[in-house]
Amino acid sequence: MKKLFVFTGLLCFFLNANAQNIFPDNGNVGIGTTDPQEKLQIGNAYTFHDGGHKVIGFLYKPSGGVDLSETQFSGEIRFDPVNGKFFIGTSNTITSNPVARITIDNSGNIGIGTKTPNATLQIGESNNSGSPDSEIEIKRLSLAPITHSGSDWFFTTRDNNPYANLDIGYGNNKTLTLRHDGNVGIGTTTPDSKLTVAGNIHSREVKVTVNAGADFVFDKDYNLPTLEKVQEFIQQNGHLPEIPSALDMEQNGIHLSEMNIKLLQKIEELTLYVIDLNKKNEQHQNFIEAQSEVIKALKKEITELKK
């Protein structure tokens, strides 16, 4: 009995010593506050209650020093047993309800910045009309190890000091590489151009931007080589002037835009040769026709003399 009196006395002493811990009749419990607003409130920072399915609420009030303005923030962790959803929300004021920032629905979908995720992971609203640049920002990313095996797709960054490359592949093969300098490789991990493809390309149409065409061939001051000079060059080199040799093409490849212009230049030169040849043929034809008329006249005179 004496121990009970001692315990009761100590309890009263501690309760009086810390009057901010309170147990009012409404069922709310306050620790560090004399006016708890929820089932359990700890100071002015944390609240726990079951109203509206909220589990934990947070309130932050910066204090101390001299502020030009005061900003107050709040947040909550909420479980909705009716719809089977779990929310984490925040707000920049204590007067408005926190907005759901992270949501897990009853099908396991996770939403960041949306309360209705339509995929296993959805970031932002599906009808977001804002700038997509701010949807996802990842400082470092590794969704798969550098060494791969099996039959799964992988998406990973590869350190290449002081930069990193992005690889996408299947099994043990890197099928696409994006370098830090913007070069993209398909079928190769060392692209040396904005797009390097180690394989065939099947396309309905390819548009190439060129700096200039080959119409300079038709300028009056263009120095068209004679066919004799072209023949001499071919006999000495085994290919057309200004066109790479077959060996050069095999070793160094060709620049599609440049080669098309060169081929067009040769076609236009060939057109000039054909036009010149046609003029000479017409001249020869006219000469032959004139000679034919002379021959006919001579035959007629000879026939008259024989009579």
Residue 307 confidence class, pLDDT cut points 50, 70, 90: confident
Inside any domain, residue 90: yes
Instruction: Give pLDDT tens digits for 82-116.
Output: 777 877 877 765 455 667 788 888 888 888 888 88
CB contact set of 38 (below 8 Å; sequence gap of 6+): 28, 47, 48, 49, 51, 57
pLDDT at 241 over 60: yes
Q: What is the mean pLDDT of residues 274-300?
A: 92
Number of domains, the chain: 3
Q: pLDDT at position 85, please?
A: 81
N- to C-terminal Cα distance for the chain?
177
Inside any domain, residue 18: yes
pTM of this prediction? Answer: 0.49
Q: pLDDT at position 7, please?
A: 40
Indicate the Cα dihedral angle 267, 269, 275, 277, nearest 10°.
-110
pLDDT at 151 over 70: no
Residue 244 confidence class, pLDDT cut points 50, 70, 90: very high
Same domain, residue pair 121 and 6 = yes
Inside any domain, residue 184: yes
Inside any domain, residue 12: yes
Same domain, residue pair 220 and 183 = no
User: What are residue 285's phi and psi, to 5 degrees?
Assistant: -65, -45
Inside any domain, residue 176: yes
Same domain, residue pair 160 and 272 = no
Same domain, residue pair 11 and 114 = yes
Same domain, residue pair 64 and 169 = no
Q: What is the mean pLDDT of residues 161-169?
A: 77
pLDDT at 123 over 70: yes
Inside any domain, residue 41: yes
Q: pLDDT at position 265, please?
A: 95
Q: What is the mean pLDDT of residues 22-29?
A: 70
106: containing domain: 2-126
Same domain, residue pair 175 and 286 = no
Same domain, residue pair 20 and 95 = yes
